[in-house]
Amino acid sequence: MKIALIAHDKKKEDMVRFVTAYRDVFKEHDLFATGTTGKRIIDEVSLSVHRFNSGPLGGDQEIGALVSRNEMDMILFFRDPLTPQPHEPDVTALIRLADVYQIPLATNMGTAELLIKGLKEGHLSWRKLIHEQGEE
């Protein structure tokens, strides 16, 4: 599965800790991330990550483009709801696209843990069916 990892500045440490805790699950999947988040995961967790631009420089939109083509299976976006974000319209657009295309999306660690445990146990295999239907 293709998993996008995004974290606002004050949530990057949480994302690194989360990916470290579930490294055995993440290493089995294709990881994508916005700029600094991806770099930190590469450097600190030693996983391969396809990096996009930082969120404020279009990274959220790059991930959104993959969502709109049904080329992303899950998004973990650790948002900081207490700090104004200059690219909030891009964040809102990405969340909207996840809803439109029925992409599982977690915006906090609690929900992300449920998604990752579900992924590990095979509860997200319906995404494979969607990919197979797109190939017909």
What structural domains and CATH numbers belong to the chain?
A: 2-135 (3.40.50.1380)
Kind and range of the H or E element at 91? helix 88-100
- Within 10 Å of residue 122's Cβ, how many Cβ atoms? 7
Tens place of pLDDT per residue across the chain (136 aa): 999 999 999 999 999 999 999 999 999 999 999 999 999 999 999 999 999 999 888 899 999 999 999 899 999 999 998 988 877 888 899 999 999 999 999 999 999 999 999 999 988 877 776 766 665 5
Is 30 annotated in the active site?
no
Extract the runs of DSSP E, i.e. beta strands, from 8-133: 30-33, 50-51, 74-78, 105-106
Centroid of chain to Cα 14: 14
The predicted model scores a pTM of 0.92
Residue of 14, 30, 60, 73 marked catalytic: 60
